[in-house]
Structures are given as C-alpha cells and as structure tokens.
C-alpha cells in the first residue's frame, strides 16, 4: 500500500486585482500570511500528510475575503484571519466540525445576486 490519499484540500485565495478593479481581492487582505498560518497549524496538528493547503485563484467570493474553501465537503469560509487557522484545523479538519461562525451564508455561494456584491461582475 502507498501513502494514504489526502482527506481534505484547503484552497486559499491569493488573487490580486488592480486597485482600480470593481471588486476587492484577497491578497491585499493578507492571504499569504493566512496560508502560512494554515501550514503551521496543519503541521502542529499532525495533519500534514492528510490535508493539503493550496493557493487558489479567485474563488468569486471577493467581497468576503480572505476566502478559504475546504473540499471534499465544499465548506466556504469568509473573512478568515491567521488567528482562525488553528480553530479550523482543530475543529473542522481534525474533528469534522466546520467552524460555523466563519461559514459563508449559502445564499452567497455561487450566486451572482448575492447582496454583498453590489451587482459587480468578476473580472
């Protein structure tokens, strides 16, 4: 038998737009620091070989950044701060209990008419 497969993938948006763009972006909100915080938390929790944290392009939830999505369960987290990484790793990835206070409302996911968007289209 080889190495076990990854159980979760965590995607952290590190997209950066022009300052003149009509939508905000996650990188200026600190998503690189967030990625390091996740890497550290996964290592500390002993989950390094079971959960993979990757940078992602725009997840189209820019008004809620920094954005993180966890697969395979498709749990979307918004406004995630480095100080939240440990809790997401411990509760969600370690114990299977998503961190409800950081979850994006279902009405925002994959919805062009999400009230946070002000009608702006992704660029």
Report the residue number, 25 or 88, with the smaller CB distance to ligand FES.
Answer: 25
Contact 95, 86 (CB under 8 A): no
CA dihedral 90, 27, 65, 21 (to 10 degrees): -170
CA 91, CA 99: separation in Å to the nearest integer?
A: 7
Token readout for 117 is 């968007």
Print the binding letters for residues 26-55 with ligand FES: x by CB under 6 A, - otherwise: x-----------------------------
Give min distance, CB of 17 to ligand FES, in A.
7
Element (H, E) at 32: helix 31-44
Report the residue number, 65 or 82, with the smaller CB distance to ligand FES.
Answer: 65
Print the binding letters for residues 50-89 with ligand FES: x by CB under 6 A, - otherwise: --------xxxxx--x-x----------------------
């Amino acid at each position: 038998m080889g190495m076990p497969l990854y159980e979760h993938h965590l995607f952290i948006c590190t997209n950066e737009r022009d300052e003149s763009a009509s939508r905000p972006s996650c990188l200026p909100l600190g998503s690189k620091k967030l990625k390091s915080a996740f890497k550290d938390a996964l290592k500390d929790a002993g989950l390094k070989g079971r959960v993979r944290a990757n940078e992602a392009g725009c997840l189209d939830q820019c008004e809620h950044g920094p954005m993180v999505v966890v697969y395979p369960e498709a749990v979307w987290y918004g406004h995630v701060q480095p100080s939240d990484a440990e809790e997401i790793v411990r509760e969600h990835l370690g114990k299977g209990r998503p961190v409800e206070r950081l979850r994006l409302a279902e009405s925002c996911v994959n919805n062009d008419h999400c009230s946070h968007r002000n009608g702006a289209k992704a660029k």
